[in-house]
Amino acid sequence: MNNKNNNMKLQDYLDKHNKLKSMEGILDSWAIEYQIEKFLPLIKAGYDFQDIIDYFAIKLNDFVQHGRLDELLKEDKKGVK
């Protein structure tokens, strides 16, 4: 059972690694670093990384739930930036 669990953990790691590498190929590192820098005031204010991740996840969910993602996708499909 332990070997099966270790294989599952390895597969989970490999799947996550491949997904992240794919994402890095789509977004340039400058864009990500720029966005991280924008969170610096939260870090300085004492929020830990999990707080910031939770904040971003909630904001992203709100963005999607309020239809903004659909709007951006439609604009992108039309070639509007």
pLDDT score of 81: 52
Taking only the tens place, the pLDDT of each residue in 4-44 is 888 889 999 999 999 999 998 898 888 889 999 999 999 99
Give pLDDT, residue 5.
86
pLDDT digits (tens, 9 = 90+) for 46-60: 999 999 999 999 999
In the chain, where are the structural domains located?
A: 1-27, 39-81
Q: Is the pTM of this model over 0.95?
A: no
Query: What DSSP line would sit under 8-46, residue for residue?
Result: HHHHHHHHHHHHHHHHHHHS-HHHHHHHHHHTHHHHHTT
Determine the pLDDT at residue 62: 92
